[in-house]
């Protein structure tokens, strides 16, 4: 199975070479020509611009033709070709939603279309790519959330360790105080024992008055 992006490249390449003849680099006017003659030159110019990655210029040529020849079958074809330009992976202004809308309008138009099969194939590919893009964006958002959660957990753990470190000296101090109290109590008990022994009368000796 051909990957969707590779299929898109193949379809776009076939579409761009479908019409024979040399591309004219000269801008068209169409002021005194039939729409068919003007269309041939307009399409050739748009293809020439697209082949050198001048996508904005190519789109402008097609848009101008559609504005100058409204309602003609050739004007309808501009929707198909403009969709191709918007789907080209090398186009900086690539826009699958725009391309899909253009293809939908092209296929739903009651006028006869010259590229029905190609347009339907491109529309399906564009829909699949748009779906994959949404999945990728969702996965990226989830990855960012997971990273943020992990980062927050690290910060909280570090804070907990810092609090524990602060509390540790207090615990040591409490233990030391308890030890000293115990030693003091033992010393007092020893002093009391000695005092009592000293105050006891010596056997056989009368007590002093």
Please report which confidence band the pLDDT of residue 199 belongs to, taking 50, 70 and 90 as the band edges. Answer: confident
Predicted confidence at residue 33, as pLDDT, reads 54
Encode burial over 139-154: b for 16+ CB neighbours within 10 A, e otherwise: eeeeeeeeeeeeeeee
Highest average pLDDT, of 27-41, 48-62, 194-208, comes from 48-62
- More confident site: 166 or 182: 182
Q: How many CB atoms lie within 10 A of CB 57?
A: 15
Give the DSSP letter string of 72-130.
SHHHHHHHHHHHHHHH-TT-TT--HHHHHHHHHHHHH-SS--S-HHHHHHHHHHHHHHH
CA 82 to chain centre: 27
Pick from 9-13, 140-144, 165-169: least confident: 9-13
- More confident site: 33 or 78: 78
**Contact at 8 Å (CB) between 102 and 123?**
no
pTM: 0.55
């Amino acid at each position: 199975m051909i990957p969707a992006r590779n299929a898109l490249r193949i379809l776009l390449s076939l579409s761009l070479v479908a019409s024979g003849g040399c591309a004219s680099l000269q801008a068209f006017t169409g002021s005194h020509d039939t729409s068919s003659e003007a269309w041939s030159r307009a399409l050739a110019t748009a293809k020439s611009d697209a082949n050198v990655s001048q996508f904005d210029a190519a789109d402008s040529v097609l848009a101008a033709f559609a504005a100058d020849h409204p309602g003609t079958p050739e004007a309808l074809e501009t929707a198909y070709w403009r969709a191709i330009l918007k789907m080209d992976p090398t186009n900086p202004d690539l826009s699958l939603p725009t391309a899909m809308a253009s293809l939908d309008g092209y296929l739903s138009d009651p006028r006869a279309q010259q590229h029905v099969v190609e347009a339907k194939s491109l529309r399906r590919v564009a829909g699949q790519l748009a779906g994959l893009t949404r999945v990728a964006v969702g996965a990226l958002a989830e990855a960012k959330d997971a990273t943020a959660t992990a980062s927050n957990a690290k910060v909280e753990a570090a804070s907990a360790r810092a609090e524990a470190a602060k509390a540790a000296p207090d615990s040591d101090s409490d233990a030391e105080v308890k030890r000293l109290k115990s030693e003091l109590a033992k010393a007092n008990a020893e002093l009391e024992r000695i005092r009592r022994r000293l105050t006891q009368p010596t056997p056989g000796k009368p007590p002093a008055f």
